[in-house]
Structure 1
Amino acid sequence: MKYNEFADSLTHHAASDALSPLLRALWHAGRDEWRTAHDIAQAHEGTPHFDWLHALLHRQKGDASNAAYWYRRAGRPAFSGSIRAEWEALARTQWPGQA
């Protein structure tokens, strides 16, 4: 699966069984299924990409102080673009070098 196929899959009824836990969480986050995405992020706490996702989710919810905590845990600066741009940036880390 390529990034564009993944992004297009957000319109599907269910996530592909072939998705990694991170992509599954991003799939739910991209569909505004916050609780499911958050549960997956919490289950992988301490892993940088999941901590970044955790920050994104709290930012999405409007909880800037909690998001700041998770950005620090992920070793990343707070993202300055839109929620959607951050979602895409994180998702694209799973397809390095792909335009």
Structure 2
Amino acid sequence: MSFDDFRAQANPPARLGAALEALWHDARGDWATAHARAQEAAGRDGAWVHAYLHRKEGDEMNAGYWYARAGRPAAGGSLQAEWESITRELLAR
């Protein structure tokens, strides 16, 4: 699925996994559902999305924990740029 197709989806893309579903919900302003799906996402991808969501929430300490679990450096750019970067990388797999 392309990035543009992902953004245009009317319903969450469940076949793509919990991490991408979390990002889909976040893009629509539903942080709570995004967080719940990120908690269900396994491995480093789920941890990366989880880190982003806690950074968005303003909880830098918790975000730092999840970035470490994801094996990623803490992000420093805009939240929108981080969302797009994560989404593009996960879709490319």
Q: TM-score, normalised by structure 2?
A: 0.87
Aligned-residue CA RMSD in angstroms?
A: 1.8
Instruction: Please give the alpha-carbon distance, in whole angstroms, between the structure 1 residues aligned to 2:69 and 2:15.
Output: 28
Q: 1:40 to 1:95 in 2, by over 3 A?
A: closer
Gaps of at least 5 residues in structure 1 are none
Per-residue deviation, 1:15: 2.1
Greater helix share, structure number: 2
User: Aligned residue pairs: how many?
Assistant: 93
Per-residue deviation, 1:20: 2.4
Instruction: Please give the alpha-carbon distance, in whole angstroms, between the structure 1 residues aligned to 2:14 and 2:69.
Output: 29
Q: 1:61 to 1:75 in 2, by over 3 A?
A: same
2:88 equivalent in structure 1: 92
Q: TM-score, normalised by structure 1?
A: 0.82
Q: Which has the larger radius of gyration?
A: 1
Gaps of at least 5 residues in structure 2 are none
Alignment of 1:1-99 (within 5 A): 1-9=1-9, 12=10, 14-45=11-42, 47-96=43-92
Alpha-carbon displacement from aligned partner over 1:8-40 (angstroms, at most 9, x marks no partner): 33xx3x324544222211100111211111111
Opposite residue 40 of structure 2, the aligned amino acid is A
Identical aligned residues as a percent: 44
Runs of 4+ in 1 over 6 A off after TM superposition: none
Is the 2:18–2:40 contact (alpha carbons within 8 Å) kept by the matching residues of 1? no
